[in-house]
Amino acid sequence: MKNSRWIAAVFTITALIGCSSVPERGAPKIVYLPGAKVDLDNTELVKETLYQQYNQWKNTKYRMGGLSRNGIDCSGFVHVTFKTRLGMVLPRSTEFQAQLGETIAKDQLRAGDLVFFKTGMTGRHVGVYLEDGRFLHASTRQGVTISGLNESYWKSAYWKAKRLDM
């Protein structure tokens, strides 16, 4: 009985804070994989690469802490996408991903920029901008999907955007 209460408490806490809770140590940084980096200034190549990632991962269910096709959370999806498709190893947590790069205005977004949302008092969500107001992410309800920044939920939750090519 005590175990079931403990499991329920852990589940409740993780559900409330979203995918921003994976702890990390040290200052957030980007590690570039040798010979694998995609130039983020090449918008067409970045879009093509991100759509390929979407086609491979679409409908993968959301799972807090997940990093595989069996389930993945938002920051994990961004982490895996940048590592496997763009040659950049980003921190695993939304908290540290939000500290990377330069803050840019919403009207300056281009493919490959990170978009962040406040999804509750402490919850944070991250996705990767595609084009025309759309972004790729792992949604708690739909799994890996493409959503619009102007959809009412995302519009009201929008926090900031970051560009990683410095």
Enzyme catalytic residues: 74, 125, 137
| C-alpha gyration radius of the chain | 16
| 113 in Cβ contact with 128 (< 8 Å) | yes
- Minimal CA–CA distance to 53: which of 79, 31, 35? 79
- What 99-102 contacts at long range (C-beta under 8 Å, 24+ apart), as own/partner pairs, is 99/28, 100/28, 100/29, 100/30, 100/162, 100/164, 101/162, 101/163, 101/164, 101/165, 101/166, 102/162, 102/163, 102/166
Hey, how many other C-beta atoms are within 10 angstroms of the C-beta on 141?
A: 7
